[in-house]
Structure 1
Amino acid sequence: MITSSANGKVKQVMNLMKKAKARNESGLFVTEGLRIFKEIPPELIESIFVSEGFLKEKEHKQLIDGMQYEVVTDEVFRVMSDTRTPQGILALVKQLTYAPEDLTRTGGPAFLMILENIQDPGNLGTIIRAGEGAGITGVLMNSTTADIYNPKVIRSTMGSVFRVPFAYTGDLTASILRLKDQGIRLYAAHLDGRNNYEKEDYTVDTGFLIGNEANGLTEDTARLAEAYIKIPMMGSVESLNAAVAASVLMFETARQRRA
């Protein structure tokens, strides 16, 4: 049993939680909580940590029966945890790797979310989770978008991170131009949108450009879109949160494709 927060394994967990550099160098990330633990593909699990209190529940012990795991005291687990009310289980998980073509390889039309400078981990996680529900084929992000392996992003995805292909690009413009060459029609969510979002046809290969929470898309990226679209607002509201706007567009696309 691990009884000290100075233990090397505990320090590794805390380092992976706090530092993107540590995650990138190790190829690992941290998941915490019962629900997401159940979503992890077994072959990706590197190691498991559970608290003493966690093992007091019969169903908890059954969940990890036959697996190797480290037991830590409740106090040490609270130090390791990134949440206010730890559930007593976390895992180190191998990072996923996708090729660019994985984002568009599908039996039907491509359906991409292309994110520029999204900074809030909760927004990124929500877009991925809502995207799975709407049927997106992948997420493309520029290198200054939040780290998908940040613990807050992972929690917000609620397991969707294991099922939605994603990739970062160091040259967003070049990546977008390649998508256009493949015949993917790109829309920019933009205050200068010509049409309301529901007026366009998203049943063909489609991608949405979603920009930074405070500043929106950069002009250079927005100009690459085939069309600007807008979500009409009532009252004094000018725009929506990035994740909410993305969700509106994704579920309109899902609606059209069902129809």
Structure 2
Amino acid sequence: MKHQEKSREYLKKKAFYDRVLTLYGRNPVLEALKDPSLTIHRLHLSRSNRPSKELDEMLRLAVDRGVEVLYHDKAKLSRISKNARQDQGVALDIVAGNIMRYEDFISKNISYRILALDRITNPQNVGMILRSAAAGKIDGVLIPAKGTAPVVSPLTIKASAGTLFRLPLLRCGDLREALRDFREAGATLFTLDSHASKSYDEVDYPAKTLFVLGNESEGVSPEVAAMCHERIAIPMNRGVESLNVAVTAALLAFCTDK
């Protein structure tokens, strides 16, 4: 009985921390503390920080919101932020209600348009993709834990223009495994190919659709491309061969009738 209680407690705790994002850098942390729509868990500060107006404002906001403030040595703060070069001695844990396991998303939705990111390493591109997805007709972005730029970084947050928390972010460990599960759930996978015969704006997209976006220089990996059902193209003029992946995402975000 005690073992079962411990297991339930562990799963509950794990489910909570699966939804926690840790921001770092003074401007992102300060802006997050000012946003009343965000649920803040903890503010982390380095003991080696020198006094500043920014830190004073962070502390004031944290106290006003009842946020726990923890102080750490520089090494531990770096382990929390996972970015010693850019954390500037501050980190903030946010409970993001828009983060979920992709398996949960599959089980709860019968119709969707998803953008899946395959090895997109530029954080600015990731941020702009999130912004376009939030603005358009996209229901979620599938983001692998490895091989893709971190969702939480100053560059990503800035490029997303505050939309990071406005649409479902679907976490997965391995993209191929997640795509396999979506396929088994009846989803149709599309990938972009400049040599494809069908234009992206001429497709009658099914109820469950995933658009797989590939690496900035190499495109979708061969292993992932082999899993996709259909290739589509974005027609281009004047000899232009390809578009920035974030621009491609923007076009796809508004191309479907929903």
The TM-score, its normalising length taken from structure 2, stands at 0.69
Task: Kindly provide the amino acid, as one letter, of the partner of residue 47 in structure 1.
Answer: L
Q: By how many angstroms is 1:67 displaced?
A: 3.4
Call closer, same or farther: CA 1:51–1:68 in 2, change over 3 Å: farther
Q: By how many angstroms is 1:95 displaced?
A: 5.5
Equivalent residue in structure 2 for 1:28, among 22, 47, 54:
22
Q: How much identity, in percent, do the aligned residues show?
A: 27
* 1:56-95 alignment runs, 5 A limit: 66-67=64-65, 92-94=92-94
Equivalent residue in structure 2 for 1:46, among 38, 42, 47:
42
Call closer, same or farther: CA 1:95–1:64 in 2, change over 3 Å: closer
Q: By how many angstroms is 1:54 displaced?
A: 9.5
Q: By how many angstroms is 1:179 displaced?
A: 0.4
Equivalent residue in structure 1 for 2:128, among 121, 126, 149:
126
Task: Kindly provide the amino acid, as one letter, of the partner of residue 218 in structure 1.
Answer: S
Q: By how many angstroms is 1:237 displaced?
A: 1.2
Aligned counterparts of 1:106 and 1:137: Cα–Cα separation in 2:
12
CA deviations 1:134-185 (Å, max 9, x no partner) are 1322111232011111221122222222122223433222211110111111
Which residue is 1:115 aligned to?
Answer: 117
Aligned counterparts of 2:54 and 2:100: Cα–Cα separation in 1:
37
Q: By how many angstroms is 1:225 displaced?
A: 1.3
Equivalent residue in structure 2 for 1:244, among 244, 247, 256:
247
* 1:62-211 alignment runs, 5 A limit: 66-67=64-65, 92-94=92-94, 96=96, 97-104=99-106, 109-142=111-144, 143-202=146-205, 204-211=207-214
Call closer, same or farther: CA 1:173–1:91 in 2, change over 3 Å: closer
The TM-score, its normalising length taken from structure 1, stands at 0.68
Query: Structure 2 regions of 5+ residues with no counterpart?
Result: 1-17, 46-50, 70-83
Call closer, same or farther: CA 1:216–1:91 in 2, change over 3 Å: same
Q: Is the 8 A contact 2:102 2:171 kept in 1?
A: no
Aligned counterparts of 2:108 and 2:142: Cα–Cα separation in 1:
15
Aligned counterparts of 2:222 and 2:54: Cα–Cα separation in 1:
53
Call closer, same or farther: CA 1:203–1:63 in 2, change over 3 Å: farther
Call closer, same or farther: CA 1:39–1:141 in 2, change over 3 Å: same
Q: By how many angstroms is 1:115 displaced?
A: 0.6
Q: Is the 8 A contact 1:196 1:232 kept in 2?
A: yes
Question: Number of residues paired by the alignment?
Answer: 214
CA RMSD in angstroms comes to 3.5
Call closer, same or farther: CA 1:224–1:53 in 2, change over 3 Å: closer
Q: Is the 8 A contact 1:48 1:68 kept in 2?
A: no
Q: Look up the SS of the partner of 1:144 in the other structure.
A: coil
More displaced stretch, 146-155 vs 31-40: 31-40
Q: Look up the SS of the partner of 2:211 in the other structure.
A: strand
Q: By how many angstroms is 1:65 displaced?
A: 8.5
Q: By how many angstroms is 1:44 displaced?
A: 2.4
Q: Is the 8 A contact 1:30 1:93 kept in 2?
A: no
